[in-house]
Amino acid sequence: MNRLSILIFLFLLTSASETGRAQSRLGRVTRIQLSPDVEVAEAVLRDVSGDGNVDLVISALDLKTNGRSLRIHHRLQGSKSVRECFRQAPDHTLSLTPDVVAFSIADVHEDAGREVVLFSPRGVFVWRPKGSEKERFKKLFSAELLWQVPDVDEVFFWDAARDVNGDGLDDLMLPETGGYRIAVQGRSAEAGAFFQAVSTIQIPEDRRAGFRAGGKGPVQTGGGQGRFELMLGLPGRQDEATRNLVRIEDVVPAPFFLDWDADGDLDLLAQTTTRLHVWPLSQEGQYNELPGESLLSPVPLNQERTLDISYSSHAVDFNQDGRADCVIFAGDKSKKNLRTQVLIFRNSPEKGLFGEKGRPDQLLVLTGIVAPPSFPDVDGDGAKDLLIVTLRTDLIEQLRNSSSDSVSGEISVYLNQGKRGEKSKRGEVFSRRPDFIHSIQMSPEGDTKTTHFLGDVTGDGVAELLLRTSKDHLSVFMIRQRKGELSLVDRPLWELNIDEEANVELPDVEVSKNREFLVLEDHQVLHVRFR
């Protein structure tokens, strides 16, 4: 081997090592292992200690005792330079009583940092890990939580904290039968933190979505959004009245808090079968019981629409004018191929949200079935872009003669056109055509839910793409922007093998400035953090 060859070999070897180190520097993995008798139910990242770094909170189940607990792992100080972000042993552990249904993390006490908020069927409590034994638990207010019966296997995270009136204090929101309860926090030197301004929201009655539970005989039907249930029984079975003593069903729409009227506070939005309801926050910091506006939805949720697996509707402020806009995805079966329409509505003082005739401000048409979309900021301009994963049903036809074990899908990004689009002739919110397309092969074992723009990891201002390329493999790919065009670099920046059955918990952007997420396995939580 001559000298040049040796140099080339050494260069390649070094480059490979550098790449390997770059990969490991890029994404740090901290593994929190629980004992084989303890199972992970849920995990979230929230700044509990109030030091500006997100901590890790794990909801766990002891399989031997059936005891449920919360484990808080504080972020290690100086963890930017150390490999691991958390210690193995939790800093605080709370054994939960059987009546606890859910938990949240919010600053609801004058103690430094945030506290654990516990929800039981009848009330809301705070747990202060640093409080004296007598003062560790305190009831905040009474409530009739929607979920009356705790799950014996888990205590779930309910994201209750919202600063609805912009005063810097965490307010709490929880669902109840027929509506919601919103408790606005106040503070004073004498009284400390208190919740006196409590708004009770009532959802107006509307037609029931889904299927009426039909039949008393062997053929019974039921279902809801995207779901149809068929129960085939045989003669001689017990009927409902003798089989069950009580059946209780409570349903409320998912609530969303956004600024509707550009007054700087958070208004409440909720969608029923035929209408979008809005409860503006008053100047006194309260919500009225009934909505201030109820807009007829241009795509109501009738029985046909409940079977439309592409259907979804979203409220997002696309143009950052302080007014919540709306986008609706709906299947279009009028053509031979399956298509999905994307109806984008811009909220403006002149026309409102849906206008008089429910005509969208922009209409996109996609080929195939659409998975639930998301709205990341891909190009780093601060505005929400549109990310869609589509199952290309037209390409599936090609499978007839193949023995492939996967189907073609597509990841598409439509960039937010911002002011430029607003002023354009068509008044577009998003590009008319995708600014980024990436084909993927989707096997039944793949996970389209883990298609996520993680944020800018490489420092070029453009978000990177996290993909679960197979059941047991995660990859992060660099997205490059050149001359306004986005493209994916084929070789992954970072990869990780995970358990096949693991759930990937993607963060809210607001939670952390770092690019981090969690992988939940049965007895282990993996925390992944990028720069």
Partner 1 sequence: MRMNMVSGYRALGLLVVLLLTHAGLAQTVGGMKRGTSLIPDYPISDHMVADFDGDGRDELVVFAKDGRVLSYHGTSGASLDPAPRGKLQLADPERSLIATGSFFEGAKKQLLVLSPGGLRVFRPDDRGDFSGKGHLLTSRARFNLRVGGPIRSNIVQDVNEDGRPDIVVPTPGFCELWLNQGPDESEEKDGLGLPRFRRVAKAAVRLNSQSSRGMSSLNKSLRSDFSIPNLTTKDVNGDGRLDLQIRQDDIRSWHLQREDGSIPGKPDVSLDLSIFRDTTPKSAIAPGQIASMGDRRSFESRDLDDDGILDYVIAHRRKIWIFHGTKAGPQFTKPSFILRSVEDVTALTLLHLDKDTRPDLLLIKVEVPSVTTFVLGFVSSWDLSFSAAGYRNTNGREFDKAPTWKKETALRFPPILSILKDPQALVQRIEYMGKKFRKQLGGDFDGDGKEDLALLSEDADRIDVFRSTGSADESDGDGDESLREILFEDKRSTWELEDVLLWMGGLAERRVAALTRGRNPDGSVALSDREKMEFTGFETGDFDGDGSAEIVLSYRPEGAVRVTLFDVMGVDPSQK
Site for partner 1 in 267-286 (CB under 8 A): 269-271, 273, 276
How far apart (Å, rounded) are the C-alpha atoms in residues 166 and 425? Answer: 36
Rule CB under 8 A: choose which of 20, 217, 264, 352 binds partner 1: 217
Give the interface segment with partner 1, choosing from 215-223, 346-354, 378-386, 487-495 (CB under 8 A). Answer: 215-223
Helix (H, G, I), strand (E, B) or coil at 13: helix
Q: Is 200 in the site for partner 1 (CB under 8 A)?
A: no
Q: Which tokens go with 294?
A: 């109820």
Rule CB under 8 A: choose which of 94, 407, 413, 520 binds partner 1: 407
Q: Is 207 in the site for partner 1 (CB under 8 A)?
A: yes
Residue 304 CB coordination number (10 Å): 11
Q: Is 64 in the site for partner 1 (CB under 8 A)?
A: no
Q: Can you name the residues that pair with 161 across neighbouring β-strands?
A: 172
Q: Is 508 in the site for partner 1 (CB under 8 A)?
A: no
Rule CB under 8 A: choose which of 1, 4, 89, 248 binds partner 1: 248
Contact letters for partner 1, residues 4-43 (x by CB under 8 A): ----------------------------------------
In degrees and rounded to multiples of 5, residue 227 shows phi and psi of -145, 130
Q: Do the beta carbons of residue 117 and residue 126 sit within 8 Å?
A: yes
Q: Is 188 in the site for partner 1 (CB under 8 A)?
A: no
Distance between start and end Cα atoms, the chain: 40
The separation between CA 306 and the C-alpha centre of its own chain, rounded to angstroms, equals 21
59: left (phi over 0), alpha (psi -120 to 50) or beta: beta
Residues binding partner 1: what is the number (CB under 8 A)? 90
Q: Do the beta carbons of residue 44 and residue 68 sit within 8 Å?
A: no
Question: Is 90 or 298 the residue whose CB approaches partner 1 more closely?
Answer: 298
Question: Is 30 or 120 the residue whose CB approaches partner 1 more closely?
Answer: 120
CB crowding 179-207: b at 16 or more within 10 Å, else e: bbbbbbbbbeeeeebebebbbebebeebe
Site for partner 1 in 84-113 (CB under 8 A): none
Helix (H, G, I), strand (E, B) or coil at 212: coil
Rule CB under 8 A: choose which of 166, 218, 264, 461 binds partner 1: 218
Rule CB under 8 A: choose which of 130, 228, 426, 513 binds partner 1: 228
Rule CB under 8 A: choose which of 56, 369, 498, 520 binds partner 1: 369
Question: Is 89 or 254 the residue whose CB approaches partner 1 more closely?
Answer: 254
Q: Do the beta carbons of residue 493 and residue 476 sit within 8 Å?
A: yes
Give 397-411 as a 3 state SS string.
Answer: HHHHHCCCCCEEEEE
Site for partner 1 in 304-363 (CB under 8 A): 304, 307-309, 311-315, 326, 333, 338
Contact letters for partner 1, residues 121-160 (x by CB under 8 A): x----------------------x-xxxxxxx---x-xx-
Give the interface segment with partner 1, choosing from 44-52, 265-273, 456-464, 482-490 (CB under 8 A). Answer: 265-273
Q: Which tokens go with 203?
A: 């959802």
Q: Is 206 in the site for partner 1 (CB under 8 A)?
A: yes
